[in-house]
Structure 1
Amino acid sequence: MQLLCDIPSGTEVLVHICCAPDASYGIRALRDRFEVTGFFYNPNIDPREEFRKRLRATLDLQERDPFPLVVGAGGEEAWEEATRGMEGEPERGRRCEACVRLRLRETARKAAELGMPAFGTVLTVSPKKDAAMVNHVGCQEGERSGIRFVEADMKKGDGYLKSVRASRELGLYRQSYCGCRYSINGMKNGGSVRESPR
């Protein structure tokens, strides 16, 4: 992981969790420096059964490698509104940016509500995500909210490979698409959708 910020060690950070595999490395890496609380907030995940699988996997991770966790609720209508008109956008395009913005805005809002001075995300572990875009959006939302954003590229230093190893060792559910119905449709059209066994 490469940290791109100067937030002091020991700072309380609310970290957005998109899925247990990314968190299996991302939370551990951030805990080496910060006081971390996870925040599972993903109104983009479709279908509901997939949402339940990812939440269960995150709870499994928390049980095996304990850390404080807050589970966010709702937001599906806001996600629909934020991504309306971008249904045909490619993965990593404008729709993804709008989706990331919605989730990071809520993470910043929740951090402020909890009295935490900083927030971050494990989204940059995934090779499916553009770390520069995620960090840019995070910094904008940090400025907007007055809560500092922990800029990081968690792919650096083999972060993704470490997440694959950690999640397999822990027996966590590993999904093969980002989460929204458009990304699963993209996988069906451009490749196979598969579940990795626990």
Structure 2
Amino acid sequence: MRLLCDVPSGTEVLVHICCAPDATYGVRALRDRFNVSGFFYNPNIHPREEIRKRLRATLDLQEKDSFSLVVGAGGEAAWEDAVRGMEGEPERGRRCEVCVRLRMRETARKAAELGMPAFGTVLTVSPKKDAAMVNRVGREEGERSGIRFVEADLKKGDGYLKSVRASREMGLYRQNYCGCRYSYR
């Protein structure tokens, strides 16, 4: 993991969780420095059965590796509106940036609501996510909301490989696509 921020150690951080496999490494790595609470919020995930599988796996992870977890709901209509016209974009394209922004905005909003001074995400564990883009969007949403963003590239130092191993050892559900119906194809 490589931290790219100046958020002080011990700070309370609300960490967006996209899925249990990424969180197996991401939450642990960030917990080494911060007081971490997870936030599962993913209105992009399709179909409904997939969101249930990912949430159940995240709850299983929470039981096995105790951490506070907030489960967000809703946002599907806002996601549909935000990505309209970008259906043909490739993964890591403009649609992904819009999707990440929507989730980072809600994570920052929830952090403010909970009185937490910082937020972050485990999205950068995945080799399918552009860490520079995720961190830029997080910074922008942090500045917009007045909440500090914890920048990190969690795939550095074999973070992705560690997440694969940990999720397999724990028997957690591992998905094979990003989550939205356009990546499902």
Q: TM-score, normalised by structure 1?
A: 0.93
Q: Secondary structure at the match of 2:73?
A: coil
Between the aligned partners of 1:169 and 1:118, the Cα distance in structure 2 is 30
Question: What is the correspondence of 1:103-182 to structure 2 with a 5 Å cutoff?
Answer: 103-182=103-182
Query: Aligned partners of 2:176 and 2:128: how far apart in 1?
Result: 10
Deviation at 1:30, TM superposition (A): 0.3
> How do 1:85-104 residues align onto structure 2 when only pairs under 5 Å count?
85-104=85-104
The alpha carbon displacement at 1:104 in A equals: 0.3
Q: Deviations over 1:73-95 (max 9, x none)?
A: 00000000110100000000000
TM score, norm. by length of structure 2: 1.00
1:1-198 to 2 correspondence within 5 Å? 1-185=1-185
Instruction: State how many pairs are aligned.
Output: 185
Distance 1:6 1:109 in 2: 20
- Provide the rounded CA distance (Å) in 2 between the counterparts of 1:54 and 1:70: 14
Q: Post-superposition shift, 1:184?
A: 0.5
- Any unmatched runs of 5+ in structure 2? none
Query: Percent identity between the aligned chains?
Result: 87
Q: Which aligned runs of 4 or more in structure 1 are off by greater than 3 angstroms? A: none
Per-residue deviation, 1:157: 0.3
Q: 1:114-159 CA distances to partner (integer Å, 9 max, x unpaired)?
A: 0000000000000000000000000000000000000000000000
Two-structure CA RMSD over aligned residues (Å): 0.3
Matches of 1:5 and 1:102 in 2, distance apart? 21
* Runs (5+) with no aligned partner, structure 1: 186-198
| Greater relative contact order structure (CA < 8 Å, 6+ sep) | 2
> What amino acid sits opposite 1:173 in the alignment?
Y
The Cα of 1:179 is off from its aligned counterpart by 0.1
